Amino acid sequence: MDLLNNFTLIGLPYAALVLFVVGSIYRYQATKYTYSSLSSQFLEGKQLFWGSMPFHWGILVLFLGHLIAFLMPESLLAFNSHPVKLLIIEISAFMFALIVLVGILTLFIRRITNPRLQVVTNRMDLIVEILLILEVIIGIVVALNFRWGSAWFPAVITPYLNSLMILQPDISAVASLPSAIKLHIVLAFTIILLFPFTRLVHFLVVPLHYLRRPYQRVIWSWDKKQVRNPDTAWSITRPYEGVPNFLQKLVPSELAEKYMQKLKGPFRYFK
């Protein structure tokens, strides 16, 4: 039993963290164009919406809750000293866990039943979704059978995680926990281990800059001053008599002028 605990609670976490860091960096450097969720929205959108929205919002809240328990254990314990506040946290976390479960089940059923999605689905997609489903279900079981997780997590799990971070692993308290809780921990580190090989890597490249950019960008195909000039005659395709911009970038200006003399077709409508 000690050997199993050492492997699952010490060896596995370190292997998962190392592979997570190294694998994520390597994949970004080697195949950065696959560093996304590889969205299948253009293949099917309605079911994706009802699965993706609850899953992402629910998992975000649960992740932040676990992160707060890890980073601010004393503050969380002080907050939970009031029974009403403790009940609010426990009930809220349980509800969000159910929301995540509904979302991930919807996404899983969508992926295995939609013929168009089956073409773009690989084994790792199915494996990671199954692991996520098991992780959420076991988390719900833990919440039902071993209550007040927001109280014992900061007291038991946080010291264990801190010991891993400072390279002095101490599993004495975690090893005595019920099997369901340890399985929940093991599955979490397994998902982290597989992280660089799945679509989950899009979590690392969230386009936060979209929050401060204009919601719409206009790219002019012609000179915007000429287009906005009321004296310019209107036409469906406004001709441009000079050398188009894209052609100027490809060839010298003199050669481009010769091309334009010979090719007075579709090129004259671009700039």
- Tell me the CATH number at 33: 1.20.950.20
85-97 tens-digit pLDDT: 999 999 999 999 9
Same domain? For 196 and 236 the reply is no
With b for 16 or more beta-carbon neighbours within 10 A and e for fewer, the 192-208 pattern comes to bbbbbebbbbeeeeeee
Same domain? For 30 and 141 the reply is yes
Residue 217 lies in a domain: no
Q: Predicted confidence band at 261 (pLDDT cuts at 50, 70, 90)? A: low
Same domain? For 49 and 9 the reply is yes
Q: Predicted confidence band at 56 (pLDDT cuts at 50, 70, 90)? A: very high
With b for 16 or more beta-carbon neighbours within 10 A and e for fewer, the 238-267 pattern comes to eebeebbeebeeeeeeeebeeebeeeeeeb
Same domain? For 82 and 186 the reply is yes
Same domain? For 202 and 83 the reply is yes
Residue 263 lies in a domain: yes
Same domain? For 65 and 196 the reply is yes
Closest alpha carbon to 186 in 5, 1, 3, 2: 5
User: Is the pLDDT assigned to residue 238 strictly greater than 70?
Assistant: no
Which residue among 168, 187, 212 closes a domain? 212
Residue 61 lies in a domain: yes
Same domain? For 234 and 133 the reply is no
> What is the residue-wise DSSP string for 70-131?
HH-HHHHHHHTTSHHHHHHHHHHHHHHHHHHHHHHHHHHHHHHH-HHHHHT--HHHHHHHHH
Higher model confidence: residue 104 or residue 257? 104
20-37 tens-digit pLDDT: 999 989 888 888 777 777
Provide the number of structural domains found in the chain.
2
Note whether 175 and 5 are within 8 A (CB).
yes
Same domain? For 79 and 198 the reply is yes
196-214 tens-digit pLDDT: 988 888 888 777 766 777 6
Same domain? For 230 and 165 the reply is no
User: Is the pLDDT assigned to residue 226 strictly greater than 70?
Assistant: no
Domain that holds residue 57: 2-212
Q: Predicted confidence band at 119 (pLDDT cuts at 50, 70, 90)? A: confident
Q: Predicted confidence band at 184 (pLDDT cuts at 50, 70, 90)? A: very high
Closest alpha carbon to 60 in 94, 96, 35, 89: 96
Q: Cα 139 to the chain's mean position, in Å?
A: 20
Same domain? For 119 and 17 the reply is yes
Distance separating alpha carbons of residues 59 and 185, to the nearest angstrom: 16
Residue 183 lies in a domain: yes
pLDDT at 268: 45
pTM metric for this prediction: 0.73
Residue 8 lies in a domain: yes
Give the CA distances from residue 112 to residues 44, 45, 120, 176, 197, in Å, rounded to whole numbers and listed in that order.
Answer: 13, 15, 11, 39, 20
Same domain? For 132 and 265 the reply is no
Same domain? For 71 and 168 the reply is yes
User: Is the pLDDT assigned to residue 191 strictly greater than 80?
Assistant: yes
Q: Cα 105 to the chain's mean position, in Å?
A: 17
Residue 218 lies in a domain: no
Residue 199 lies in a domain: yes
Lowest-confidence pick of 134-148, 219-233, 246-260: 246-260
Averaged confidence pLDDT in the chain: 83
Residue 182 lies in a domain: yes
